[in-house]
């Protein structure tokens, strides 16, 4: 019998695996396709806070996650010798109306109070004309100094290196039976603790809650473009649902769609083209830039949009670690695995 069997090698499965392994548990990770086969391999890698006003427990938890992540990542990089491309690059939100500007002006003191000196929130009048089109910022922009980016795929690779050789691919969970995971290849693995970390696919294995699914997948599409200017020190741009994210190696990521109804989570289509067109209008550096990757996946969205984490109330010996919706990369290192065992 295994000690801990974690199913799914996305950021949630790997984060649980690393924590439990460092706590001395014997951990096996079983993954259907490969590390980063799911939503965690997003080209975007945005790590951004909620607005600092109307502070609540959810915003506090995310603030703690964002401010503790650099130390966590530095320890991971030291341990594995692999970089993860974390950069506190900031995020610019163009302001297109007087009302928007006033609303952000009112939030400035909230940032001072709630972010406690960890970062600033500022209004800026002028932005680099090759990075944000001047006509996109008629009322200036707001710059969030707490926002950062990460190379999600390098993060996953470092996490996998930390977990080590007990990560097995080609293992697709078919069903859970009392303390036993049954895989489509007929293999049955018993474990003292099974952690279901299969992202959007997890909900199919979980009982309904008050007649409703515990969550659902929500598809997102994103792209990588190759640009001619050096973007390493540029901030993320976010405008009206569209992200423009600088990356290493002369690339920019663009996205993402949010699709509740879809047939194929991995297929890209004209909805992504629309995002790319909007991004090009926002960011002059993207005019004529070549698209080098089109990517799509289903985000795990728990019924309450939060994380679905902890021992399952009715499935004996099973814990769940998924959810995160649009913020999984920022939150996964905060999982309290003590509660699992």
Ligand X SMILES: Cc1cc2nc3c(=O)[nH]c(=O)nc-3n(C[C@H](O)[C@H](O)[C@H](O)COP(=O)(O)OP(=O)(O)OC[C@H]3O[C@@H](n4cnc5c(N)ncnc54)[C@H](O)[C@@H]3O)c2cc1C
CA distances from 79 to 83, 135, 137 (A): 10, 46, 43
| DSSP character at residue 289 | P
Judged by beta carbon, residue 45 or residue 49, the one nearer ligand X is: 45
168-205: buried (b, 16+ CB within 10 Å) or exposed (e) per residue? eeebbbeebeebebebeeeeebebebbbbbbbbbbbeb
Q: How many CB atoms lie within 10 A of CB 104?
A: 22
CA distances from 145 to 47, 70, 333 (A): 11, 14, 21
Number of residues that bind ligand X (CB under 6 A): 42
| CB within 8 Å of 139: residues ≥ 6 apart | 95, 96, 97, 98, 100, 101
Judged by beta carbon, residue 131 or residue 203, the one nearer ligand X is: 203
Judged by beta carbon, residue 130 or residue 259, the one nearer ligand X is: 259
Q: How many CB atoms lie within 10 A of CB 284?
A: 17
Judged by beta carbon, residue 136 or residue 148, the one nearer ligand X is: 148
* Of residues 31-90, those binding ligand X (CB under 6 A): 31-33, 37-40, 42, 44-46
Query: 81 in the Ramachandran plot: left (φ > 0), alpha (ψ -120 to 50) or beta?
Result: left
Angle made by CA atoms 35, 36, 37, in degrees to the nearest 5: 95
Contact 303, 213 (CB under 8 A): yes
In angstroms, the CA 62 to CA 71 distance is 15
Please tell me whether residue 199 binds ligand X under the rule CB under 6 A.
yes
Query: Which residues, in sequence order, are bridge partners of residue 47?
Result: 148
* Of residues 295-314, those binding ligand X (CB under 6 A): 297, 299-300
- In whole angstroms, the minimum distance from the beta carbon of 104 to ligand X comes to 22
Judged by beta carbon, residue 125 or residue 263, the one nearer ligand X is: 263
Q: By CB under 6 A, which span of 19-27, 115-123, 166-174, 229-237 interacts with ligand X?
A: 166-174
Please tell me whether residue 147 binds ligand X under the rule CB under 6 A.
no
> What x-and-dash track marks residues 226-265 binding ligand X by CB under 6 A?
-----------------------------xx---------
> What x-and-dash track marks residues 15-34 binding ligand X by CB under 6 A?
---------------xxxx-
Judged by beta carbon, residue 40 or residue 137, the one nearer ligand X is: 40
Please tell me whether residue 215 binds ligand X under the rule CB under 6 A.
no
Please tell me whether residue 157 binds ligand X under the rule CB under 6 A.
no
- In whole angstroms, the minimum distance from the beta carbon of 92 to ligand X comes to 16
| One of 4, 9, 163, 282 touching ligand X (CB under 6 A) | 9
41-68: buried (b, 16+ CB within 10 Å) or exposed (e) per residue? bbbbbbbbbbbbbeeeeebeebbebbee
- In whole angstroms, the minimum distance from the beta carbon of 42 to ligand X comes to 4
| Residues in contact with ligand X by the rule CB under 6 A | 7-13, 30-33, 37-40, 42, 44-46, 171-173, 197-199, 201, 220-222, 255-256, 297, 299-300, 322, 324-330
């Amino acid at each position: 019998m295994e000690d801990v069997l974690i199913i799914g090698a996305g950021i949630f499965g790997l984060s649980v695996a690393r924590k439990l392994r460092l706590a001395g548990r014997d951990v096996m990770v079983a993954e259907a396709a490969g590390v980063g086969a799911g939503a965690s391999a997003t080209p975007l890698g945005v790590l951004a806070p909620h607005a600092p006003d109307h502070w609540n427990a959810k915003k506090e938890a995310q603030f703690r996650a964002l401010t503790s992540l650099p130390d966590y990542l530095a320890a991971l990089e030291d341990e594995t010798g692999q970089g993860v491309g974390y950069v506190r690059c900031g995020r610019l939100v163009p302001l297109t109306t007087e009302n928007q500007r006033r609303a952000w002006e009112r939030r400035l003191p909230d940032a001072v109070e709630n972010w406690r000196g960890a970062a600033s929130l500022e209004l800026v009048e002028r932005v680099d004309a090759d990075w944000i089109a001047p006509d996109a910022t008629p009322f200036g922009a707001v710059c969030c100094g707490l926002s950062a980016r990460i190379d999600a795929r390098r993060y996953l690779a470092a996490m996998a290196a930390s977990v080590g050789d007990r990560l097995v691919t080609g293992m697709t969970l078919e069903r859970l039976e009392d303390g036993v995971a049954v895989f489509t290849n007929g293999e049955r693995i018993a474990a003292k603790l099974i952690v279901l970390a299969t992202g959007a696919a997890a909900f199919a294995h979980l009982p309904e809650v008050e007649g409703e699914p515990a969550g659902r997948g929500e598809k997102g599409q994103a792209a990588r473009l190759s640009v001619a200017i050096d973007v390493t020190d540029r901030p993320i741009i976010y405008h009206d649902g569209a992200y423009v994210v600088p990356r290493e190696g002369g690339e920019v990521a663009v996205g993402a769609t949010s699709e509740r109804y879809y047939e194929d989570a991995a297929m890209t289509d004209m909805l992504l083209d629309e995002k790319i067109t909007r991004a090009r209008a926002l960011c002059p550096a993207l005019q004529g830039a070549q698209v080098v990757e089109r990517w799509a996946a289903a985000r795990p969205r728990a019924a309450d949009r939060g994380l679905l984490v902890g021992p399952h109330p009715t499935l004996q010996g099973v814990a769940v670690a998924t959810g995160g919706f649009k913020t999984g990369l920022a939150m996964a290192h905060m999982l309290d695995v003590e509660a699992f065992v």
